[in-house]
Chain A
Amino acid sequence: MADKTTNGSSLKMKLKKVKMPPAKSKPDVSDLIGERLRNFYDDVAKQPIPDRFLDLLSQLQAASTPNKKT
């Protein structure tokens, strides 16, 4: 691949460029298992947020907001 004039160090750099994964490597779960896993997960994740959590967050916020208003 590399032509004969390429010296060792630049060849190394070339290899490094090709082989180094990006800072955040993308996982390869593109197969059937990955698909079923995502279906399972997204099935829950796309459900509307249950009231108990909406109530909880309102309560927490109410409790942490100072009563006096400007």
Chain B
Amino acid sequence: MVISTQFHDDLLAAIPSLRAFGLSLTARGDRADDLVQETLMKAWKYHGSFTAGTNMKAWLYTILRNEFYTQLRKRKREVEDADGVYSNKVAVHAEQDGHLDMADFTIALAKLPEDQREAIVLVGASGFSYEEAAEICGCAVGTIKSRVNRARNRLTELLQIEAPTVASLSAQTTLARRA
């Protein structure tokens, strides 16, 4: 089989964002990179099923996502992770993998149900439209929208982000008027 240089180059270009998506799903660098590896191999193997000119990024994200759920199901069969154990592991890995200030966000993200997590990441960070995210996750656009909203509310809660107080808002308004 002959695979075009273009396909190779496109795969290469997609690696950085695939790694980021993988990390958002797994919250662990080692597992994220294993997912990316598997994705690249599958993409290469099934390159014939990719239609040139269509959204390759979305195609690759779909492969990575499928791989993630396959592994998740396997792992769940192997070990029933007691509540909290997963979060603790994530916390340790988050501190090893990244900056400390990044760790609390990673932990908060890991506490979301998978469906909400992938929705907010696809739409909020990967640059996909709601329609594309729905395509990748195999669900309705409305479902993606409501998952994104729930994810955002939950993250706000977990990170205890305070809404701006009336006082600080009016101070800002005053400054803005003076400027």
5 A-B pairs besides A27-B124, A53-B36 with CB distance below 8 A are A24-B131, A33-B161, A36-B105, A61-B3, A64-B44
With A32-B161, A33-B161, A60-B44 known to touch, is A45 a contact of B20 (CB < 8 Å)?
A: yes
Interface of A is mostly: helix
Interface of B is mostly: helix
Residues of B within 8 A of A (CB): 1-3, 8, 11-12, 15-17, 19-21, 23-24, 32-33, 36-37, 40-41, 44, 98-99, 102, 105-106, 109, 120-121, 123-126, 129-132, 148, 152, 155-156, 159, 161
Task: Pick the residue among A29, A34, A53 that contacts B40 (CB under 8 A).
Answer: A53
Chain B residues near A40 (CB-CB < 8 A): 24, 102, 105-106, 109, 125
Residue of A nearest to B17 (CB): A45
Residue of A nearest to B37 (CB): A56
With A40-B102, A52-B33, A56-B41 known to touch, is A27 a contact of B129 (CB < 8 Å)?
A: yes
Cβ-defined contact, A44 with B20, below 8 A: yes
Cβ-defined contact, A41 with B16, below 8 A: no
With A33-B156, A40-B24 known to touch, is A50 a contact of B33 (CB < 8 Å)?
A: yes
Cβ-defined contact, B19 with A64, below 8 A: no
Q: Which of B41, B44, B121, B161 has the most CB of A within 10 A?
A: B44
With A27-B130, A57-B8, A61-B3 known to touch, is A37 a contact of B120 (CB < 8 Å)?
A: yes
